[in-house]
């Protein structure tokens, strides 16, 4: 039982879309699946935020100017200008995952504490939404 819970949490660290169905395949309770995927998702977001600056510094020895960043990524810049930190944190966490949202935010020089807060809220929404969908979907089978 403990290994199954740990597997769900480990999968949620990288991708919640894989963790929740795995929890239902293991026959775990929806509450256990929710809390394990929430813990794993939050752990993934925190690790990405902690190592984000270090990884960026490793790959970018010379920090590009703001004008160079805008020319290099026009689509991301448009999305950033339209939705801001809340959209990047919440919507990014729900759609592609918190680690990727934090990586994009690190590339845009966003305040990581604020971004981490909004990403954690997005992980909470994502876990609760997909656990409920999974539970009621299994009731139909």
Does residue 46 register a pLDDT over 60? yes
Number of domains in the chain: 1
Coil, helix or strand at residue 110: coil
Q: Does the predicted model carry a pTM greater than 0.85? A: no
Quickly list DSSP for 44-82.
Answer: HHHHHHHHHHHHHHHH-SSPPPHHHHHHH-HHHHHHHHH
Coil, helix or strand at residue 92: helix
The pLDDT tens digits of the residues spanning 107-126 come to 788 888 999 999 999 999 99
Structural domain for 95, as ranges: 2-140
């Amino acid at each position: 039982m403990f290994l199954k819970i740990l597997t769900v949490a480990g999968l949620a660290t990288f991708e919640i879309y894989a963790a929740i169905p795995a929890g239902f395949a293991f026959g775990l309770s929806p509450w256990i699946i929710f809390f394990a995927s929430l813990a794993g998702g939050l752990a993934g977001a925190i690790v990405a935020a902690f190592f984000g600056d270090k990884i960026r510094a490793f790959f970018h020895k010379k920090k590009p100017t703001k004008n160079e960043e805008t020319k290099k990524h026009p689509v991301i810049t448009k999305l950033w200008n339209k939705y801001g930190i809340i959209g990047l944190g919440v919507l990014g966490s729900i759609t592609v995952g918190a680690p990727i949202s934090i990586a994009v935010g690190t590339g845009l020089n966003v305040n990581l504490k604020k971004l981490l807060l909004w990403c954690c809220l997005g992980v909470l929404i994502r876990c609760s939404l997909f656990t409920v969908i999974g539970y009621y979907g299994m009731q139909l089978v």
